[in-house]
Structure 1
Amino acid sequence: MISNVQAYRASLLHFRNDPAFDEHATLWHSDGLLVIADGKVVAAGDYDSLHASLPADTMVNDWRGKIITPGFIDTHVHYPQTDIIGSPAPGLLPWLNTYTFPTEGRFGDAAHAAEVAEFFLAELLRNGTTTAAVYCTVHPQSVDAFFERSHALNLRMIAGKVMMDRNAPDFLLDTAESSARDSEALIKRWHKKGRQHYAITPRFAPTSTDQQLRLAGELAAQYPDTYIQTHVAENTDEVKWVKELFPDARSYLDVYEQRGLMRKRALYAHCIWLDDNDRARMAATESVATVCPTSNLFLGSGLFDFANADKLRMPMSLATDVGGGTSFSMLQTMNELHKVGRMSGMHLDAHRMFYMATLGGARALQLEGTIGNFAAGCDADFIVLDPQATPLLSRRSATTDSLEEQLFALALLGDDRVITATYSAGARVHQRTAWI
């Protein structure tokens, strides 16, 4: 006997596959019913088919006129950079030195880290993001602050301590040995505690010695169900720098592969300046490109090559990359994703962009069957989208002739105002209120 049944009536949107490779990937119920119990999905389908099976005393939450979809999944974001979003700089490396490093230096203060973590998580939920792969700082207390807040909210989050033992200010450096020791202690404290997951997090190759990267690879082998997250091939100046630092590597990506850092659950941000050999290695190892369109445009880093990524079936997912990224909104990120695709000769339709932000993210994280769609048994992480959230969006929604047009309008015209409510494990963790 199922207890604690909750039901939500609205249009339902989710996916069972990537629409780029499966014409039947999209699951759409214009008058749908989502049934959950004890924080898990029980059923999702047409209202007419499911409502009679509800227990007699079940209250149906009526969201007709709105769209329920799985919560968005952001596979690359920096919570300590919340306060420097939108900071001017001529490129990646000057931006790091002028804004990022000084800001991250403050996270040795546990109270400051806790305050930023609280705001950051609230901002994610306000934008409909229920799972994210998050960078903390070099300070272990920044990780504790993040996970303490996420665990209290019962969110499914991934995070890790940055490992960085060279080419950064002294106040942000650890050592190869201390970073491995601290990371292992944090794994033991937080990995799989409730809905929390740990990510081994070397910032990027230029700020880690060979020894630090090798120790990170050893940790990744010792704890194979943890995540790995880092950056690769974002900027041409960065690529040149890596070649100078690691002259024996075939490519920037090869620096990581040589040190045991390519496998399932390995997340590589940007992946702009790769060649086909790199893309083939990503596919073979099931390492994932986390595509960050707003930061790539903001910092002038380059355009992600969708055509060659698809040709080699390189795994990819969508990410905001705040604070180099310019919005917490995955809808705004889809907006820029589409434009990056167009500039590189690819048309990304709305079905695929919503897939990348939901089931695509879950697959990137090896969490399909846990989050990302409404298959029975999945966590009940979902959001309520309002196609009438703004006057312009409402007017455009009234004239759409297809699901593609409606979703495309949401992606191109939507922002945080579209998110009416956000639910995590069946509990409402955000409800939109009007700003006056």
Structure 2
Amino acid sequence: MTISAFRGEILSVPQDPATTPDAVQHYPDGLLVVEDGLVLALGAYEDLAPRFADVPVELIDGLIVPGFIDTHIHYPQTERIAAHGQQLLQWLEQHIFPAEAAFASRAHADDVAAFFLDELLRNGTTSALVFATVHEGSVDALFEAALERGMRITSGKVLMDLGPESLRDTPESGRAQSEALIARWRGRGRLGYAVTPRFALTSSDAQMAVAGELLAAHPDAMLHTHLAENTGECAAVMERFPDALDYLDAYDRFGLVGKRSLFAHAIHMSDRAMGRMAQAGASISCCPTSNLFLGSGLFDLALADRHGVNVGLGTDVGAGTSFSMLATQGEAYKVCQMRGSVLDPFRALYLATVAGAKALGFADKVGALQVGQEADFLVLDCAATPLLARRCAGASLRERLFALQILGDDRCVAATYIAGIRRHSR
């Protein structure tokens, strides 16, 4: 039994501030006590110190917040971040499919996976839902690297029997490889499996049916795919499925819309589709830097709120332009401004932590630093740059948090802890 404690300013947002008064938990002088990787106690230092007088305390200079949870990111696209030109479908053909073909090499997959996960840690991201490639080995590489770092990573082999020739599987091989990966990795560390049809245009009806069968056969697996990202993509999907009610219905008919489903983007959505998502308990990953970079559109958070759909945040690297969930929160604020609404900084932090954990099905385990949860957290430095230091001097907690979201990036992450163990130091 190992007990450690961390003393400093602590901030957590266990509930949605948009619907729950007093959702914010803030301890200007707080104590976080960790036992065997789990939160044993959290509260004001003066209240907890007598109880844990014999426990060694690490003094933290900075703002302790729960680890960020990235609900949609592509690790094989790491080296194609900031690839110039065109919108989604053309960008995939020009930049992404050739890059993903290289993951037929296990050595290449191992190299990129290690760099990718270290980059997440450098940006304070401790959990993520990650796209791999069609190659079985790409998932093995990611899971092995995540296991070494103790990270909570969910991923799966991409299904795309209608993809380009270099990235094409079959319904039969997709099923067999997915089943093998689930059997190989289930229950190991903090890993989870996601059934992953790339999107409706890259899988045949037969393969979409296989995806639904895999999801039904494995109640601990997620469904991870893309939805209504780009107008050209939406038009192509409706041409492919002319009798579908909408894009979401193209998935729904194969049993892919449920409480374990996470759909990235969902920008061009009808009230019917949003209502169906709410009814099914499915979640959305809002990816603002990606949507702006590809010119895909502006996510309507207010529409999702009206229907009661849970929304997390995703960086969506490599269309996304930053691994930083701070920068992603800042861009989400700007998108909401363009939509005529205001995103509160405490709610932005909620979206980047607890809402993401809900979307990925493990809100009982991470996201809020509550007693019994895994002790994943990061330390934010409000003086990481001269401008931030000047802006935050004498500022309120709300102002400091917002400044971090608008001006911050990886430089603001002083340290990242996984299960109470420091895994990154700036």
TM range (shorter): over 0.9
Cα deviation, 1:300-324, whole Å, max 9, x if unaligned, reads 0000111111111111110000000
Alpha-carbon distance, 1:378 to partner = 0.4
Match for 2:41: what amino acid?
A
Correspondence 1:308 to 2:319: no
Match for 1:59: what amino acid?
P
Match of 1:349 in 2: 344
Q: State the alpha-carbon separation in 1 of the partners of residues 394 and 91 from structure 2.
A: 43
Secondary structure at 2:284 match in 1? strand
Alpha-carbon distance, 1:16 to partner = 2.1
Secondary structure at 1:181 match in 2? helix
Match for 1:411 among 394, 405, 410? 405
Greater CA drift, 126-135 or 299-308? 299-308
CA contact (8 A) 2:14 2:367 kept: no
Given the two structures, how large is their TM-score scaled by the length of structure 2?
A: 0.99
Match for 1:77: what amino acid?
I
Match for 2:42: what amino acid?
A
Q: Which runs of 5+ in 1 are unaligned?
A: none
Q: State the alpha-carbon separation in 1 of the partners of residues 19 and 392 from structure 2.
A: 27
Match for 2:83 among 82, 87, 104? 87
Q: Let me know the Cα RMSD of the aligned residues.
A: 0.8
Cα deviation, 1:220-267, whole Å, max 9, x if unaligned, reads 001011111000000000000001111111101001111000112211
* Count of residues in correspondence between the two structures: 426
Match for 2:49 among 48, 51, 54? 51
CA contact (8 A) 2:8 2:63 kept: yes
Match of 1:123 in 2: 119
Secondary structure at 1:407 match in 2? helix
Alpha-carbon distance, 1:381 to partner = 0.6
Match of 1:195 in 2: 190
Q: State the alpha-carbon separation in 2 of the partners of residues 192 and 199 from structure 1.
A: 14
Secondary structure at 2:289 match in 1? helix
Q: State the alpha-carbon separation in 2 of the partners of residues 147 and 85 from structure 1.
A: 22
Match of 1:326 in 2: 321
Match for 1:20: what amino acid?
A
Q: State the alpha-carbon separation in 1 of the partners of residues 192 and 420 from structure 2.
A: 20
Secondary structure at 1:52 match in 2? coil
Alpha-carbon distance, 1:55 to partner = 4.7
Alpha-carbon distance, 1:351 to partner = 0.4
Identity of aligned residues (%): 51
Q: State the alpha-carbon separation in 1 of the partners of residues 311 and 222 from structure 2.
A: 15
Correspondence 1:427 to 2:421: yes
Alpha-carbon distance, 1:360 to partner = 1.1
Match of 2:59 in 1: 62
Match of 1:97 in 2: 93
Match of 1:298 in 2: 293
Match for 1:127: what amino acid?
N
Match for 2:216: what amino acid?
A
CA contact (8 A) 1:305 1:344 kept: yes
Alpha-carbon distance, 1:392 to partner = 0.5
Correspondence 1:261 to 2:256: yes
Q: State the alpha-carbon separation in 2 of the partners of residues 98 and 237 from structure 1.
A: 16
Correspondence 1:160 to 2:156: yes
Correspondence 1:364 to 2:362: no
Match for 2:25: what amino acid?
L
Match of 2:131 in 1: 135
Q: State the alpha-carbon separation in 1 of the partners of residues 192 and 308 from structure 2.
A: 26
CA contact (8 A) 1:296 1:302 kept: yes
Match for 2:271: what amino acid?
D
Q: State the alpha-carbon separation in 1 of the partners of residues 347 and 400 from structure 2.
A: 13
Correspondence 1:339 to 2:334: yes
Match for 1:110 among 101, 106, 125? 106
Correspondence 1:244 to 2:242: no
